[in-house]
Amino acid sequence: GENVEQHPSTLSVQEGDSAVIKCTYSDSASNYFPWYKQELGKGPQLIIDIRSNVGEKKDQRIAVTLNKTAKHFSLHITETQPEDSAVYFCAASPPYSGTYKYIFGTGTRLKVLA
Amino acid sequence: DGGITQSPKYLFRKEGQNVTLSCEQNLNHDAMYWYRQDPGQGLRLIYYSQIVNDFQKGDIAEGYSVSREKKESFPLTVTSAQKNPTAFYLCASSMDSGGGYEQYFGPGTRLTVT
């Protein structure tokens, strides 16, 4: 089955710097890759996603890149702000028996230092 | 406001007792999911339901049970057979379970069993 590895587990950056979180997946059939942000004590919220027919997607300060050959995808946050501090999860969605399940990475705790 | 509600936010139980976690959505979504979140681990799928009166086991279904009698509701029962029930439980829903649809998460229920 699918396996998703996420690195690093923690990341500290100075306010204004960029942050990059990387995920690798094992199942080449996976075709949807969402990124979720989870603030303390809350449920995860989708911040950006990408499908396998696209190599890059941007939304203001956030971008995601996908390398299907290498089976990895990355989240890029530019001009980081204190409110970006949270846990970020990547996920891969492979089709199993007609149902698309998410396999989540183990999360990255991002701290933006003011 | 459309969304997913989970109640209660915090739940305390003694060992040997069954406990039911509530999840309600008013997004008119067909698919609903239950995840368990432990520190340092990603979200792990317990059960999911693609349609009313139908549900399937996820990766860690042992010791849990669910029902889906209404489209809006997907309660999770943590039974006394679950060996390590203390965790943060997240409910999610999506328009459909196929094709990589965004999953919307509730705020979670933190269950502590002593």
**pLDDT score for A97:** 52
Q: Kindly tell me if the per-residue pLDDT of B1 is higher than 90.
A: no
Mean pLDDT (whole number) for B65-94: 95
**pLDDT score for A22:** 98
| Alpha-carbon gap, residue B61 to B43, rounded angstroms | 13
Chain B residue with minimum CA distance to A10? B40
pLDDT in tens, A18-40: 999 999 999 998 889 999 999 98
Token look-up 């306010």 returns A15
Per-residue pLDDT band at B54 (split at 50, 70, 90) = very high
User: In the structure encoding, which two tokens stand for residue B53, read together?
Assistant: 């009166």
CB-closest option in B40, B56, B102 to A34: B102
**pLDDT score for B104:** 92
Cβ separation A99–B58 shorter than 8 A: no
- B8, B109 Cβ separation under 8 angstroms: yes
**pLDDT score for A100:** 63
Give all strands (DSSP E) within chain A, no chain letters.
4-7, 10-14, 19-25, 32-38, 45-51, 56-59, 62-67, 72-77, 86-92, 95-96, 99-100, 103-104, 108-113
Per-residue pLDDT band at A102 (split at 50, 70, 90) = confident
**pLDDT score for B97:** 64
Cβ separation B102–A46 shorter than 8 A: yes
| Alpha-carbon gap, residue B113 to B43, rounded angstroms | 20
Q: What percent of chain A has pLDDT over 90?
A: 76
Residues of B in contact with A49 (CB under 8 A): 100, 102
pLDDT in tens, B24-44: 999 999 999 999 999 877 899
Q: Best interface-test mutation with A: which of B36, B41, B43 has the largest number of A CBs within 10 A?
A: B43
Cβ separation A43–B45 shorter than 8 A: no
pLDDT in tens, B73-83: 999 999 998 99
**pLDDT score for A99:** 60
Half-sphere exposure of B11 (CA within 13 A, CB side): 23
Half-sphere exposure of A99 (CA within 13 A, CB side): 18
Mean pLDDT (whole number) for A81-109: 86
Interface A–B counts its CB contacts (< 8 A) at 64
The residue ranking higher by pLDDT, A54 or A64, is: A64
| Alpha-carbon gap, residue B29 to B26, rounded angstroms | 8
Task: Tell me the residues of chain B between 11 and 30 that have a Cβ less than 8 Å away from chain A.
Answer: none
